[in-house]
Amino acid sequence: MDYIIRKEKERDLTLSFLLGLSYVKTEYVCLTDCDLQHDIKKIPSMLSMIINQNYDLVIGSRFKNSSKQVDLNFYRSLNSRVGILLSKLIGIKNIFDPLSGFFIFKTEIFKSVEEEIFTKGFKILLTLLFLKKNKISIYEMQTNFFSRKLGKSKLNFKTKINFLKQILTLFFYNNSLKK
């Protein structure tokens, strides 16, 4: 198993994703945070949806079915819900959890837009959904979302500002395309 450690001072999932993607030679890629909040036992089921049902992207959703275990406190849940509402402004309307950090995709599809990714931040799925809007088949699978076991949350004021920059960048880019 190979791995890459990105040691730049600026913590940024999008930049790490792009670096990792440049080395990928497999047919499928799974992205998950390493804080053990996502239910990695769902990976075989998610991969099966891509292989057997021919989806391009399978999202491990925290919000598709609210009866599942989602260990988010009120503050984190509120932030997620506001972020999801903001993502609707850029046209991501039919996805329950466009901010998920847990998804599997066909490598070839996202290598095709690698050069088009122009945002930064921790919500790479949002940019991928924006760039491939209505061009790929997507399935959302409800997954459990557990309390953090390792590390600490990145959700601070700077992260929120960077997320707003990402939303605004995509919003203005989207509107420039319409002209």
Distance CA 84, CA 131 (A): 17
Cα–Cα nearest to 16, from 25, 35, 27, 3: 3
pLDDT at 55: 96
Identify the helix (H) or strand (E) that includes residue 126. Answer: helix 124-131
pLDDT at 70: 62
pLDDT at 66: 63
For the segment(s) 13-178, the CATH number from 3.30.499.10, 1.10.460.10, 3.90.550.10, 3.40.50.2300 is 3.90.550.10
Cα–Cα nearest to 66, from 148, 179, 143: 143
**Per-residue burial over 148-177, b = 16 or more CB atoms within 10 Å of its CB, e = otherwise:** eeeeeeeeeeebeebbeebbebbeeeeeee
Secondary structure tally for the chain: helices H, strands E: 6, 4
Identify the helix (H) or strand (E) that includes residue 105. Answer: strand 103-106
Q: Which residues of the chain have pLDDT under 70?
A: 1-2, 9, 66-72, 149-155, 174-179
pLDDT at 68: 52
- Sheet of strand 103-106: strand arrangement: 28-31, 103-106, 57-61, 138-142
- Lookup result for tokens 């319409």: 178
Whether the predicted model's global pTM rises above the 0.85 cut = no
User: Using an 8 Å Cβ cutoff, are 100 and 26 in contact?
Assistant: no
pLDDT at 47: 96
pLDDT at 141: 93
Cα–Cα nearest to 149, from 5, 19, 26, 38: 38
Please report, as a single letter, which amino acid is at residue 22. S
